[in-house]
Each structure stands twice: as structure tokens, then as C-alpha cells.
Amino acid sequence: QVQLVESGGDLVQPGGSLRLSCSPSGSISSINAIGWFRQAPGREREFVAANRWTQGTTYYSDSVKGRFSISRDRTSGAVFLQMNSLKPEDTAVYYCAAGRPIVSTIRTQRGYSSWGQGTQVTVSS
């Protein structure tokens, strides 16, 4: 079992930046990818980005490509989501998730077996 702790959510103005962190613990050797999802009020949870480090690949949704960047610290295993040029529509609770997804499931919730508690990101002036 893997436990995940997110941090970094905050209130930021449009055009601003935030960096979210996801720190895994437990059976880290059982996972090969961490993804970020988000859920806005009244909307379904959606994929944002993922890092599958064993293949050296990253994935992004079209809505954040070019603005967000996902990276991993090899020493700690923490995964970061750098969010730039934030827009009000980026407002949501952001969740990190861990598992062993394959290419066809890496953008879906079913590709992940462990989830964090979420961190709130609010983009507003």
C-alpha cells in the first residue's frame, strides 16, 4: 500500500503560479507512475498530468499543456506539478494518485490504486 500526501494548494491571482507536491510513502516499489487529477465543484474528476518514471514519459491534458509541468525528485520520490499562467478555470481540488497504469489507462482514474486527500487551488482576483 502506498500513502500520498499533497501540499501546495493556495489562492492565487490569474496569471500566477503555484507548485503542488505529492509525497509518497509505504510500498513505493509497487508503483511506477504518479498522476494528478482535479475536480471542480459540480464537475467530474479529470486528468491533468502524469509521470511514469520507469519509462521516462510524461503526459498532459490538452487544457494544461504548455502551462503545467510535472517532474519527480529521484531521491525522495516526490512528484511536483508546476502550474504557470493559471486561469480561473484551473480552480479545483487537485489530487495525486499512484499506481502502475499502462498507456491506455494512465489518463484514467482506474489506472491508479492509491489516492491522496487533495489540495485546494483557487485562481481568482
Query: How far apart are the C-alpha atoms of 77 and 93, rounded to whole Å?
Result: 22
Summarised one tens digit per residue, pLDDT across range 18-73 is 999 999 999 999 999 999 999 999 999 999 999 999 989 999 999 999 999 999 99
Whole-number Å distance between alpha carbons of 6 and 85: 21
Question: Contact at 8 Å (CB) between 121 and 9?
Answer: yes
Query: What does the block give as the cell for 105?
Result: 489507462
Instruction: Report the pLDDT value the prediction gives residue 20, as an integer from 0 to 100.
Output: 98
- What pLDDT sits at residue 61? 98
pLDDT in tens, 1-26: 999 999 999 999 999 999 999 999 99
For 100-110, how does the pLDDT look when each residue is reduced to its tens digit (9 = 90+)? 999 999 999 99
DSSP secondary-structure letter at 118?
Answer: -
* pLDDT attached to residue 66: 98
Q: Is the Cα dihedral 87, 42, 108, 78 positive or negative?
A: positive
Per DSSP, 74 falls in state T
Q: Which pLDDT does position 99 carry in this prediction?
A: 97
